[in-house]
Chain A
Amino acid sequence: MRRFTVVFCMALACSLPAVAHGEARAFACEPEWAALLEELGGNQVAVYQATSPKQDPHRVEARPSLIARMRRADLVVCSGSDLEIGWLPVLLQAAGNREVQPGQPGYFMASDYVRRLDVPDRVDRAMGDVHPYGNPHVHLDPRNLAIIATALSKRLAEIDRENADFYVARNATFQERWSASIERWEREATGLKGLRLVTYHRDAIYLANWLGMDLAATIEAKPGIPPSSRHLAKLLSQLEAEPADVIVRMAYNEPKAPAWLGEKTGIPVVELPYTVGGTKQAKDLFGLFDDTIDRLKSAVSRS
């Protein structure tokens, strides 16, 4: 009889939400989402960061270790909008984890919660590997992160109901600090308004949109197509006719083409973290924007 009760209770525990006790396990596709999960989840969420800041998030290998992590995750947090199209579907297929499949509470795509920019009118691979649902690099606008943080804290509360109050409180604290920081960043970055940037990929569009900067050109010929020497020559003459202020190299970009372009044009090259951990200073989400603005400002004052 006793044994029966125990078994019954275990069965009941299984039918309750994914995280009955202990910490929730989150799988973050990119470092920015790992950082956000840490802000919101504190010690209640064990976060696994699938990619390093030096990795191009478009091109990640669906490694066995990632399948193993996906298998045990209660929540998967990614950018979405097809940024991870080359690897996330494989992981979801191979891991056998129903809780994190699309449509389940354990599947959270951050870019679903904000308005995306660069949504193409039509999609054709002649345009390169375009993001058909719009630009997925949404985290470089801190206002997007505020919206995503609230949505994510709700999701954490749904998955780990026992700690729902904890996530509410963490989000409230985060939002308070975050909005104060946004105000400060916007104050500090007033001098960056109208700045013309050359980036490798259009991954700075949300940053540019936030601070009123322009993405003048990209170093890659087309999305996902590395620059040929002909493209670089064309870019060079374009920049001679219409100079830009800064050439941006994100931490995951290869350094050669931006350096070459900087040398030829005399436009300062600035290395930006792109995500948390991309530079030594970008230790967390606050550091990411502190450092991004610092670096842009010092590049401008140099020129």
Chain B
Amino acid sequence: MNRTYLAIAIALTLSFSVTARAQDQTEEIEELRQRVQELEDRLDQQPTTAEPGLPTTAAQPTTTSGAPAPTSNKFNPAVSLILNAKYRYFELDPNTYTVGGFIPPGGHGHGGEEEGGHGGGFGPGDRGFSLDETELAFSANVDPYWYGFVQAGVLDGGIDIEEAYIQNSGYVPGLLVKAGRFFSGMGYINEQHPHAWDFVDAPLVQLAMNGINYGDDGFQLRYVAPTPLFLEFGLEAGRGANFPGSERNENGPNAWVGFVHLGGDVGFSNSYQIGASYRDTTADEREYDDEDSLGNEVENLFSDLKSKTYGVDFVWKWAPNGDPSMRNFKFQAEYYRRKEDGQLEYDFEGEGAGPLDGPYSSEQDGWYAQGVWQFMPRWRVGVRYDRLDSGTLNYGPISDGTISREDLQQLREHKPERASIMVDFSTSEFARFRLQYSQDKARFDETDQQVIFQYVVSLGAHGAHRF
């Protein structure tokens, strides 16, 4: 009992010293530390009920207790590799694929997956068997302040750095600072790597507005508010070289993104997250190839284009008692609207007349909604519906009758639509096999039937995904 009195006495002096005047505070804090140390030593001597010789007597952290480290060197970064292969059946030639009424993010209206480059892959991919991008990720703490992450996509053509950033979490309470190349926090699906998607391909609206994954080189600030509900604000500034922006050869940032997320639970079984985002960027010399009404090739060049994108997103997850291992349901939906305003140069070859130039503005939108139901362990089924609207378009040479909207073949009025169903089976947390069927009306007049079989497996470090 002596010991307890002593501890109380120490604690009392300790609390007095806290309220004492603030001069020589460093000294005092040092003293304080020593006292706590003494206190801890006393605690150490407290009898524990463990009897000697029993298997559970280690009193010190034993992180190294003979456990084989997953890597031979503990300072090695966590490495993971995502393998992804597909078989695709397309009724229509994928080289004629286009999302009608929308400017193609890669600059080409038609084409297979390879043509896009980074943030590319705007077509539905190749017919038949193919090994798609293999993703390689490294991550580790750099030092007590920074965490580093790299994810590269390895293709036959080379390596594409999808993300490479450093991040500080909480140096200022609630503040996350990210710098380098990263997927933007706008929307919901944008930040997810393709292997984490619930369908083989990205929603059409994601494709048309963000070009698969909208990423940028720059920095991101996220602030998580100290509230009972999850409330997060994000701000990004970046180079803005990716669609819908363009390379600008300027010192300042060309793309700004702001977003807010709000999330919480409803009872034990339901949780949700809603978000809103905004992107402001400009494009100069952003071009795309098209045809006029007679089928002649046209090159369209945007300059001084202001591009603003607004989005809202919603996710709802249900799992009985919060345990998703047996059954669970996930619903997600996103809506985007994009307004563009600038100059368009319309350069048609042949016929000798020089390029036309005029003010251009457009307003387009689209959305998707999907539900995925795990009805028994390992098995899930999902349904998705995509819808876009080519919206309004104003272009000087069209209003003054020089050309017609039919001469901007790609930007004709259209409401692309797609319906997809999928079923997937996971042999474990690390391997998923998926079969998907889509009826795709992204092209202007034709409907494509698509059947895709895919596997996605991960090797190495145990993945952990965000909500």
Contact = CB atoms under 8 A, between A and B. Distances in A.
Interface of A: 8-9, 12, 15-16, 51-52, 54-56, 59-65, 67-68, 71-72, 82, 85-90, 92-99, 101, 103, 112-117, 119-123, 125, 128-129, 132-134, 138, 141-144, 146-147, 150-151, 153-154, 157-158, 161-166, 168-169, 171-172, 175, 178-179, 182, 206, 209, 224-226, 252, 254
B322 A61 contact: yes
A61 B428 contact: no
B263 interface: yes
A96 B176 contact: yes
A157 B40 contact: yes
Given A65-B263, A132-B68, A133-B67, A55 B321 contact: yes
B79 to A, nearest CB: 14
B58 A96 contact: no
A143 B60 CA distance: 15
A115 B57 contact: yes
A200 to B, nearest CB: 11
Interface string B165-183: 0010111011110000000
A8 B22 CA distance: 10
B4 interface: yes
Interface in B6-47: 7-8, 10-12, 14-15, 18, 22, 25, 29, 32, 36, 39-40, 42-44, 46-47
B294 interface: no
B323 interface: yes
Given A64-B261, A65-B264, A90 B36 contact: no
Contacts of B67: 116, 119, 132-134
Contacts of A162: 14-15, 18
A171 B466 contact: no
Contact of B36 (A59, A138, A161, A225): A161
10 contacts: A55-B321, A61-B467, A64-B272, A65-B271, A96-B224, A147-B57, A154-B40, A164-B36, A172-B46, A175-B49
B55 A61 contact: no
A93 B264 CA distance: 18
Contacts of A93: 147, 167, 169
Given A87-B464, A96-B175, A68 B229 contact: yes
Contact of A95 (B40, B224, B429): B224
Nearest to B66: A119
Given A68-B231, A161-B32, A171-B46, A115 B56 contact: yes
Given A116-B67, A132-B68, A61 B319 contact: yes
Contacts of B18: 16, 161-162
Interface string B120-132: 0000000000000
A172 to B, nearest CB: 6
Given A60-B322, A68-B264, A164-B14, A112 B61 contact: yes
A260 to B, nearest CB: 15
A133 B65 CA distance: 8
A115 B273 contact: no
Contact of B325 (A56, A68, A120, A125): A56
For the complex of A and B, list the 10 residue pairs with the smallest distance between their C-beta atoms, beginning with the closest.
A64-B263, A165-B11, A179-B49, A64-B230, A98-B170, A68-B230, A54-B321, A112-B61, A96-B170, A133-B67
A171 B47 CA distance: 11
Contacts of B268: 52
B362 to A, nearest CB: 35
B170 A63 contact: no
B25 A12 contact: yes
B321 A64 contact: no
Contacts of B25: 12, 15
Contacts of A225: 427-428
A257 B15 CA distance: 57
B326 interface: yes
B428 A129 contact: yes
Given A68-B228, A97-B170, A147 B4 contact: no
B265 interface: yes
Contacts of B232: 67
Contact of B7 (A59, A86, A119, A165): A165
B227 interface: yes
Given A99-B170, A147-B50, A166-B11, 4 more contacts: A15-B25, A64-B467, A94-B176, A129-B429
Contact of B326 (A129, A132, A254): A254
Nearest to B265: A65
Contacts of B173: 96-98
A62 B466 contact: yes
A114 B56 CA distance: 6
Contacts of B261: 64
B202 to A, nearest CB: 22
Contacts of A96: 169-170, 173-176, 222-224
Interface in B309-338: 317, 319, 321-326
Contact of A62 (B15, B225, B467): B467
Contacts of B466: 62, 90, 94
A175 B36 contact: no
